[in-house]
Structure formats: structure tokens, C-alpha cells
Amino acid sequence: MDRKRLGVVVDGSFTAGLTVRLDPGQSTEDLQIGSFMVVQGREYTYFCMLSDLQLRTSDARLIAKPPQGFTPFVSRVLSGSATYAMAVVKPMLMMPTVDVRDDSRLLVGQTPEERGVMSVRTIPMHYAELVEATEIDFLTVFGSPDKPNHFVFGQPLTMDLPICLDLGRFMERSSGIFGQTGTGKSFTALVVLAGIIKHDVGVNLIFDAHNEYAYGKESEEKQWVKGLKHLFGSKVRVYSLDESQANKPGRPADGILKIGLNQIEPEDVILMSQELGLTAKAGTMIGLLKDTYGDKWLTRLIEMDAEALSEFCQQSGAHEGSVQALQRDLKKLARKEYIRPEMDSNLLDEIILTLKDGKHVILHFGQHSSMMDYMLVSNLVTRRVRAAWEKQTEQYELTQANADRPRPLMITLEEAHKFLNPEIASQTTFGTIAREMRKFHVTLMVIDQRPSGIDSEVLSQLGTRISGKLADERDIDAVLTGVSDRSALRNALASLKLRQEVLVVGHAVPMPIQVRPRTYDEAFWAEVSKPTAPVADDDLEREKRELFGA
């Protein structure tokens, strides 16, 4: 197999990477930081990422006094002798050289390890050749689309070849999609979510904060795109907070969610302290109310007249002015259209049952799209999901029966820094899921433009990170928290264009790779929504009747 030679290794180290002198005539403008390249050693072939390009000269006079009237002819004369270019490549994986050209290797082995690819444990000697990666190299490392759970996520920046995510591994650990405004985070998330639904590797609970996952939206190119409900029909169920949504043609809701004051826990309110304008003393007051009135603490507080409020303060020792302020702030919740004085758990339990049955759930917020609405409802629903999956995992460990094995569940969360910032991450359900729930088969997919606002402990738990361009140095550092080879990846991340380029790092790919994600368009919709076996709703409907009555 012919490969285009780019240069030879002349220096380097295991930790810093390999320094390559580029061949005369090889222009640096034909190479891109973050590109996938191959170094052919004597015993191993090394799969590398280009991390730096450098211009050098062997004659200091050319730096002190550059030639006048510089022409292409003079450039060719000097190139390779007086002037030359260097590249720094970072080996990420390696495999025995004898097997690299064996196309049959691609026909066996689900994982890169089974195909002979391994972690880098050494480096090649001087004058090993740097060559362009070929299709065989990409398929050897990233796998073929016909392998189980391999989903074509995009293409490398410089070639028209498929780059696959291993969706099974993607679901095993929490993940993150990051990028500044305008990088297309939501469309990238839609591509990933559609792949998970198509390949049936688990179930999704999606909090649709900005109303763009269930029914689609208008793109920045002024094109209307389809939502997941349109693509997958009965595989996806939409529960909306917006009662007017139920009667909208073409945008059906499977249920209208109402929340009772009796269902709201103190931690739900504390989470929204900033949105509600609560004081530092609010937590203490809420604790006293909870101790006194139990689950009806919020209802009793809101219904208190001046006399009842004064009596409570005398009995509990609470400061009357503080309780009055808390009452005024929490009345904002009671005025929400979807809030009721008291509710049973029927619809919340139906959401849990739907997920257990293998259907994907989108919680659509409609006109109730303030951050207060989003934080309250998502934390309340997720707390119940966590409890249900913990219980089912305990049952599975007790019986060891496949029928009791919990379905892998991924919760998609936008504006993640609001829930996972260092001040409150340890108190929220989402913080617990990111740190501890993988063993219960529950993970997060966080979507955010400000990863620096997310607790570093949570970031370190993200197995796969898909990042578009980031302008703030703190955000770049945050995305690379806990990742090895940070300097090489920093350069690759900084070199991305604003749109249609991302860096994929972590558990779902064997090595970091710059990718052009698939376009979320009609061709993609046609592929992922090809007819499959019909989804039977009989079992779900029967269980709902048994649980909730006719």
C-alpha cells in the first residue's frame, strides 16, 4: 500500500512527542494541527496526532536579514537546506507493523484491542517515516460502521472517511458537549441522540430547555429541521409543561405534566436560590418548616396568614421577618401555571415506567422555559429516576436475572453549569449522578458553553468529551480536566473553526480526533429513521392500566 511520505523523525521523547523534519517540498500549509498521522517504526506503527508546526533555518543570517525580492525560485533553492520545517506529532496508539497492511484484520475484532491496537508504551528510533494516514489506518483505529454499536458521527477534517463513535462505550460513562455560542452544540447533540435511539443502546431522558429536541427548530441557515419525535414516532414520548401544547397539530404531547407543591423538596428550592432571590438564611427556615409540616411544608408556608406565620415563628424560634421574606419569594412558585397545591405521583411514575419500557422521554418546557422552571422540574424528575434505577439495580444484583437488568439511561442536561457549579454540585441530584450513578447504569450528557462553570470533580468524571471552538482559556482548561496530553489537545482545540468542527476525546473513541460532525439534514434523517421492527405499546399500556387504573 502506497503512502505519501511527509518526513522523518529526528528527535523527541515519550512525554513530549516526536519531532519530525518535513521533507523538502512538503508545505506546512497542507497540514493541520490535530490531524491523524502515522509514524512507521521498525517493529510498530504509531498512530499520532499532529500537535505543532515549526519553521526553522540553518543560517542565522536569513533571520537577521531576509533576502530582498524573494521569489518562488529562491524559496525552492533554500528549501530543505537553509530553510526547513518541523512537525511535532504525539503518538496515541500503536500496533505491530507486520499487521498494519493486513486488510483482513478489519474483518475481525469489535474493539481496537482485538484488532491489535494498544496503548503507546515506547517510541520509534531516529529516521522513522512520518506518512499520511490512509483509509485502512482510520478503520483499524476507529472501527468500521458495520460493527455493532458503531455509529458514524462524522469525518476527519482532511478526508472523506467515516469516523465512528462506539455508542455502547459512550453510554457507559457521563459525557459532555461543549462549545461557544454558534458552534452548533444542539445539532451535535441531536446527531448523537439520534444514533443512540437508532442503535437501541439505551434510553434517553432529555430536558428540552430551549424547545429544540422534541419537535425541531429553525437553524441559523433558516432551514426547519425535524425533532426526535418526528424522526422516531412512538419510540419517543414527549411530556410537556405547556398545557397549550396538547392541541397543537404536528407537535403532539403524550402527557401534560403538573407538579404539586407537596412534591417539591427543600433541595429543589435551595437549588433555585439565585433565581428566587433567596437569602443566606433561607435554608435554615426551610429546614424548620420541613421539620414541622413534613411534605406539606411549602403548601403551609404559602397559605399562612399573618397570625399563623407569627405563631409558627414563636413555636420554632424562627425570625419572623426572614419567614415573611421566604414566603414572598416562594409564592413565585405557586403562581406557575403548572403548579398545583397537591398532586399524586401518577404522571411522574408514568415517565419512569416509560423509560423502563425502553421508550425515550423528552420533557418539553414550551412557554415555561425560564431557568427557574428548568431547574425545578429537571431536579424533581431526576431525583425519582435516580431512586428507581438504584432500586432496580439492587434487585438485579439480588436475582442476577437478565430480566431485572436496568436499561442504560442517559440524562441530557443543558445549561449544566447551573446545576453542577462548585457551590451546589455536591447537593444536586445531577452531581450525584455524575459522581456515583454509573454503577447504577445512569449517566449524564451535559451540554454547555461555559464548562469552566462546572465543578472540576464532575468534569473529571466525563468519559467522552465533544468540544467545538472555545474562546476562553478557562473553558479550554476545563474541557481538558483530567485528560492526558493536554498541551497537544489544547493546540488541536484552539485550531478549530467556529462551525462544523469538533474535537472528540475519551471513552467512545480510541484516540482524540478532529471531526466534521454529520450534518443534521434530510439525508441524515432518512438514514436514522429507516423502518425497523414496530414498537409495541401493549405492555406499556397494560402496566399503566394496572398502576393507574382504567
Q: Is 241 contained in some domain?
A: no
| Pair (282, 397) in one structural domain | no
Confidence of residue 31 (pLDDT cuts 50, 70, 90): very high
Q: Is 240 contained in some domain?
A: no
Helices (H), 335-370: 346-356
User: Is residue 348 scored above 90 in pLDDT?
Assistant: no
Query: DSSP readout, 174-220?
Result: -EEEE--TTS-HHHHHHHHHHHHHHHTSSEEEEEETTS-SSS--B-T
Task: Name the range with the highest mean pLDDT among 4-8, 270-274, 293-297, 401-405.
Answer: 4-8
User: Is residue 375 scored above 60 in pLDDT?
Assistant: yes
How many CB atoms neighbour CB 119 within 10 A? 12
| Pair (463, 501) in one structural domain | yes
How many CB atoms neighbour CB 251 within 10 A? 19
d(CA 17, CA 521): 39
Task: Name the range with the highest mean pLDDT among 96-105, 110-119, 458-467.
Answer: 458-467
Looking at 306, 338, 370, the residue that finishes a domain is 338
Q: Which of 87-101, 159-173, 323-337, 403-417 has the lowest mean pLDDT?
A: 87-101
Mean pLDDT of 33-42: 94
| Pair (417, 318) in one structural domain | no
Q: Which three cell numbers stand for residue 95?
A: 500496533
| Pair (483, 525) in one structural domain | yes
Helices (H), 357-460: 371-399, 417-420, 429-436, 456-460
HSE-up (13 A, CA, CB side) for residue 55: 9
Q: For position 544, what pLDDT does the model report? A: 43
| Pair (189, 76) in one structural domain | no
Q: For position 73, what pLDDT does the model report? A: 58
Q: For position 48, what pLDDT does the model report? A: 95
CA 228 to chain CA mean position, Å: 17
d(CA 162, CA 205): 28
d(CA 404, CA 396): 5
70-79 long-range contacts (CB < 8 A, ≥24 apart) are: 79/24, 79/25
Mean pLDDT of 221-235: 87
| Pair (501, 413) in one structural domain | yes
Confidence of residue 75 (pLDDT cuts 50, 70, 90): low
Pairing of strands 175-178, 442-448: parallel
| Pair (72, 106) in one structural domain | yes
Q: For position 550, what pLDDT does the model report? A: 40
CB-CB contact of 322 with 287 (8 Å): no
User: Is residue 543 scored above 50 in pLDDT?
Assistant: no
How many CB atoms neighbour CB 43 within 10 A? 11
Pairing of strands 259-260, 118-119: unpaired
Q: Which of 24-38, 51-65, 383-397, 535-549 has the lowest mean pLDDT?
A: 535-549
Residue 79, beta-bridge partner list: 83
User: Is residue 534 scored above 70 in pLDDT?
Assistant: no
| Pair (298, 402) in one structural domain | no
User: Is residue 439 scored above 60 in pLDDT?
Assistant: yes
More confident residue, 102 or 470: 470
Q: For position 412, what pLDDT does the model report? A: 94
Helices (H), 463-535: 473-479, 486-494, 522-528
User: Is residue 400 scored above 70 in pLDDT?
Assistant: yes
d(CA 523, CA 532): 17
Confidence of residue 102 (pLDDT cuts 50, 70, 90): low
Q: For position 548, what pLDDT does the model report? A: 40
d(CA 376, CA 189): 23
CB-CB contact of 55 with 21 (8 Å): no
- Residue-wise pLDDT for 444-491, tens only, equals 999 999 999 999 989 999 999 999 999 899 999 999 988 888 888 998
Angle (CA) 334-335-337 rounded to 5° is 105
Q: For position 392, what pLDDT does the model report? A: 94
d(CA 197, CA 199): 6
Mean pLDDT of 323-345: 88
Q: Is 244 contained in some domain?
A: no
Pairing of strands 175-178, 255-256: unpaired
More confident residue, 267 or 395: 395
Query: Residue 327: which domain range?
Result: 262-338
Mean pLDDT of 40-65: 87
Q: Which of 76-80, 87-91, 471-475 has the lowest mean pLDDT?
A: 76-80
Beta-carbon contacts of 527 under 8 Å, excluding residues fewer than 6 positions away, are none
| Pair (400, 330) in one structural domain | no
24-33 long-range contacts (CB < 8 A, ≥24 apart) are: 24/79, 24/80, 24/84, 25/79, 25/80, 26/85, 28/53, 28/55, 28/85, 28/87, 31/6, 31/87, 32/157, 32/158, 32/495, 32/514, 33/491, 33/492, 33/494, 33/495
Structural domains of the chain, count:
3
Please give the backbone phi and psi of residue 392, each rounded to the nearest 5 degrees, phi first: -70, -35
Q: For position 547, what pLDDT does the model report? A: 39
- Residue-wise pLDDT for 237-287, tens only, equals 999 998 887 667 777 788 899 999 988 888 888 888 888 888 878 888 899
Angle (CA) 301-303-304 rounded to 5° is 65
Of the candidates 494, 538, 486, 543, the one whose C-alpha atom is nearest the C-alpha of residue 512 is: 486
Q: Which of 96-100, 158-162, 327-331, 540-544 has the lowest mean pLDDT?
A: 540-544
d(CA 68, CA 80): 20
Q: For position 69, what pLDDT does the model report? A: 63
Q: For position 483, what pLDDT does the model report? A: 85
- Mean pLDDT, the chain, rounded, equals 86
| Pair (499, 409) in one structural domain | yes
Residue 208, beta-bridge partner list: 364
Q: Is 355 contained in some domain?
A: no
The enclosing domain of 409 has a CATH number of 3.40.50.300
Q: For position 423, what pLDDT does the model report? A: 79
Q: For position 144, what pLDDT does the model report? A: 87
Q: For position 536, what pLDDT does the model report? A: 47
Q: For position 110, what pLDDT does the model report? A: 62
| Pair (64, 114) in one structural domain | yes
Q: For position 432, what pLDDT does the model report? A: 84
Q: Is 18 contained in some domain?
A: yes
| Pair (83, 176) in one structural domain | no
Of the candidates 168, 62, 81, 50, the one whose C-alpha atom is nearest the C-alpha of residue 407 is: 168
More confident residue, 107 or 235: 235
CB-CB contact of 132 with 3 (8 Å): yes
Q: Is 127 contained in some domain?
A: yes
Q: For position 371, what pLDDT does the model report? A: 83
d(CA 106, CA 113): 12
Q: Is 190 contained in some domain?
A: yes
Pairing of strands 36-40, 339-340: unpaired
Q: Is 537 contained in some domain?
A: yes
pTM, two decimals, is 0.86
d(CA 456, CA 77): 52
- Residue-wise pLDDT for 497-526, tens only, equals 988 999 999 999 999 999 999 999 999 999
Mean pLDDT of 54-82: 70
Pairing of strands 339-340, 259-260: parallel
